[in-house]
């Protein structure tokens, strides 16, 4: 239900949510008629949220609030090197001290509801009024798409959201010491970072070789070829040659159900047996956004500036936004800055730019094929009014050492821009 009057918000019905506000639970007093500063609330201290925060922090006339429940930022990009035991977790975890030093008011709570009529975000303990809202809470797994998944959730770590890497590492470590069949299930797009499941398959297979594990990786792919299409051939080539006998690739195998006790993925016609499983379920925008009427599966935004459709106070960036752009951290960070610029224009009372062809946020993604060879995928996108968005991919024809080194350098420079 997406109606703005009949919905529930974060599991709380709308009437009690508003009653709480009436009872004076607001963090701040009722908004003054329009005294400066403008309050911008950013939900999510990941790639997209930090893109907005860095572009807005320290600007005159703005009070900036960041809602992020985690104590630190953790990068999903490159964290495969932690999962397979090649790098420490500390390489991918970065604190928010710089954000605090910039004068951003960071609240370590999750947003549980958005009241668009009152322009408030609710957490478990407060209601926070906003003049402008930037939402970048990432993705939610569509668990009900795979029968049996929710029942075995604790034993089926996914590892496509920050901090979940620990549980996937423990799973990979168990497999590498016990042996067996490590099944990786890939959903249909759109999902976060399409090359990531294939990267995981390759790097787990590399550890099988290195540690002498008696076992193999099976990739049950809902798609006919690895994604995105420009990397399909180099990935398949690596599976056929570098990992001959260690990776079995099953195209058009969409997992419909998992029987954890039996150790089987039900792919419709056939069952894929496993001893250890890493199922990547389909994804969607988090419930917070859907319950606020901001979209169905993905949040509905207007390009080129990522403003929510039907709400001129809200911008939605990052993977939750339903755009044709790749769901990438680099794109999310740049989109956060685009949203911030649109907010700054609004605060300054400037008119909206006239519709014209515009560059959209660009991004770089890396798919490691071994611990020291990777494929680089660069994406440039543009928006033409009346025609929509178009993306151009530039991809290494084969994995290289240079791209692997570039990947870590890219990560360090992005984390520096976000949190340094």
Among 47, 92, 96, 383, binds ligand FAD (CB under 6 A): 47
Which range, of 12-20, 135-143, 229-237, 343-351, touches ligand FAD by CB under 6 A? 135-143
Tell me which of 319, 323, 376, 379 binds ligand FAD, using CB under 6 A. 319
Write the CA distances from 37 to 58, 269, 338, 406, integer angstroms: 12, 60, 21, 41
361 forms part of the interface with ligand FAD (CB under 6 A):
no
Least distance to ligand FAD, CB of residue 147, Å: 24
Residue with tokens 């009241």: 115
* Those residues with Cβ within 8 angstroms of residue 304's Cβ, 6 or more apart along the chain or in another chain: 338, 358, 360, 383
105 in Cβ contact with 99 (< 8 Å): no
Q: Is 304 in the site for ligand FAD (CB under 6 A)?
A: no
- 381 backbone φψ class: left, alpha, beta (φ>0; ψ -120 to 50): beta
161 binds ligand FAD (CB under 6 A): yes
Instruction: Report the site for ligand FAD in 253-292 (rule: CB under 6 A).
Output: 286, 288
Judged by beta carbon, residue 218 or residue 332, the one nearer ligand FAD is 332
State how far the Cα of 72 lies from the Cα of 45, in Å rounded to an integer: 9
Tell whether residue 298 is a contact of ligand FAD (CB under 6 A). Answer: no
Concatenated DSSP letters of 352-368: PPPP--EEEEEEEEEEE
CB of 245 to ligand FAD, least distance (A): 25
Q: How many Cβ atoms are within 10 Å of 189's Cβ, its own excluded? A: 15
Of 90-98, 224-232, 270-278, 360-368: span binding ligand FAD (CB under 6 A): 360-368
307 binds ligand FAD (CB under 6 A): no
Beta partners for 382? 359, 390
Contact between 187 and ligand FAD per CB under 6 A: no
Instruction: Say whether residue 54 binds ligand FAD (CB under 6 A).
Output: no
Residue 117 burial (CB < 10 Å; 0-12/13-18/19+)? exposed
Number of residues that bind ligand FAD (CB under 6 A): 37
Among 182, 366, 383, 415, binds ligand FAD (CB under 6 A): 366
**What kind and span of H or E run contains 100?**
helix 97-101
Residues between 191 and 210 that touch ligand FAD (CB under 6 A): 192-193, 196
- Does 160 help bind ligand FAD (rule: CB under 6 A)? yes
111 part of the interface to ligand FAD, by CB under 6 A: yes
Nearer to ligand FAD, 162 or 226 (CB): 162
Q: Which of 110, 145, 236, 389 contacts ligand FAD by CB under 6 A? A: 110
Our finding on whether 77 is near ligand FAD (CB under 6 A) is yes
Q: What is the closest distance, in whole angstroms, from the C-beta atom of residue 160 to ligand FAD in the complex?
A: 4
Torsion angle of C-alpha atoms 417, 283, 311, 349, degrees rounded to 10: 10
* Of 281, 285, 282, 8, nearest in space to 137 by CA: 285
Which of 69/310 has CB closer to ligand FAD?
Answer: 69
Strand partners, 378: 364, 394
Helix axes 47-56, 401-419, angle to 10 degrees: 50
| Residue 127 touching ligand FAD (CB under 6 A) | no
Options 40, 41, 56, 67; binder of ligand FAD; rule CB under 6 A: 67
213 is an interface residue for ligand FAD by CB under 6 A: no
Retrieve residue 188's tokens. Answer: 């249909």
Q: Between 207 and 328, whose beta carbon lies closer to ligand FAD?
A: 328
Beta carbon of residue 419, minimum distance to ligand FAD (angstroms, whole number)? 12
How many angstroms separate the CA atoms of 194 and 335, rounded?
19
Compute the distance between CA of residue 210 and CA of residue 180 in angstroms, rounded to an integer. 16
Q: How many helices and strands, by DSSP H and E, does the chain display?
A: 10, 26
When asked if residue 381 is in the footprint of ligand FAD (CB under 6 A), the reply is no
Which H/E stretch holds residue 198? helix 196-211
CA atoms of 306 and 142, how far apart (whole Å): 24
Q: Is 116 a binder of ligand FAD (CB under 6 A)?
A: no
Which residue's CB is nearer to ligand FAD, number 328 or number 381?
A: 328
The residue from 58, 69, 95, 224 that contacts ligand FAD (CB under 6 A) is: 69
Are the C-beta atoms of 87 and 45 separated by less than 8 Å? no
Residue 364 CB, nearest approach to ligand FAD (Å): 6
Rounded Cα distance, 80 and 87, in Å: 9
Q: Rule CB under 6 A: which residues touch ligand FAD? A: 43-49, 67-70, 76-77, 110-111, 136-138, 160-162, 192-193, 196, 286, 288, 318-320, 327-330, 332, 363, 365-366
């Amino acid at each position: 239900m997406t109606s703005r009057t009949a919905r529930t918000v974060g599991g709380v019905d709308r009437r009690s949510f508003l009653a709480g506000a009436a009872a004076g639970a607001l963090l701040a007093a009722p908004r003054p008629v329009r005294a400066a500063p403008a309050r911008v609330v950013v939900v999510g201290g990941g790639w997209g949220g930090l893109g907005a925060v860095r572009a807005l922090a320290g600007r005159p006339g703005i009070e900036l609030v960041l809602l992020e429940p985690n104590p630190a930022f953790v990068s999903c990009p490159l964290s495969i090197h932690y999962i397979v035991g090649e790098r420490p977790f500390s390489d991918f975890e970065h604190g928010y001290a710089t954000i605090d030093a910039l004068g951003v008011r960071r609240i370590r709570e999750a947003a549980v509801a958005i009241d668009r009529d009152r322009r408030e975000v609710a957490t478990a303990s407060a209601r926070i009024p906003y003049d402008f809202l930037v939402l970048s809470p990432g993705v939610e797994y569509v668990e009900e798409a795979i029968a049996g998944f929710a029942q075995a959730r604790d034993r089926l770590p996914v590892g496509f959201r920050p901090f979940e890497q620990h549980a996937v590492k423990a799973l990979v470590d168990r497999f590498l010491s016990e042996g067996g069949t490590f099944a990786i299930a890939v959903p249909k797009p759109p999902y976060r970072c399409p090359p990531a499941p294939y990267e995981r398959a390759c790097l787990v297979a590399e550890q099988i070789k290195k540690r002498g594990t008696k076992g193999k990786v099976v990739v049950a792919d809902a798609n006919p070829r690895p994604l995105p299409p420009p990397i399909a051939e180099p990935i398949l080539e690596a599976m056929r040659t570098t990992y001959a006998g260690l990776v079995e690739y099953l195209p058009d195998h969409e997992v419909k159900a998992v029987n954890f006790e039996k150790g089987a993925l039900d792919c419709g016609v056939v069952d894929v047996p496993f001893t250890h499983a890493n199922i990547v379920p389909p994804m969607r925008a988090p419930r917070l956004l859907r319950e606020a009427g901001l979209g169905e599966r993905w949040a509905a935004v207007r390009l080129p500036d990522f403003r929510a459709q039907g709400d001129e106070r809200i911008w939605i960036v990052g993977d939750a936004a339903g755009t044709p752009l790749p769901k990438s951290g680099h794109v999310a960070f740049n989109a956060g800055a685009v949203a911030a610029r649109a907010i700054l224009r609004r605060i300054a009372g400037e008119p909206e730019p006239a519709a014209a062809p515009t560059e959209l946020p660009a991004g770089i993604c890396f798919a490691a094929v071994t611990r020291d060879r990777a494929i680089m995928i660069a994406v440039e996108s543009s928006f033409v009014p009346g025609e929509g968005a178009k993306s151009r991919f530039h991809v290494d024809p084969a994995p290289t050492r240079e791209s692997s080194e570039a990947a870590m350098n890219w990560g360090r420079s992005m984390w520096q821009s976000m949190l340094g």
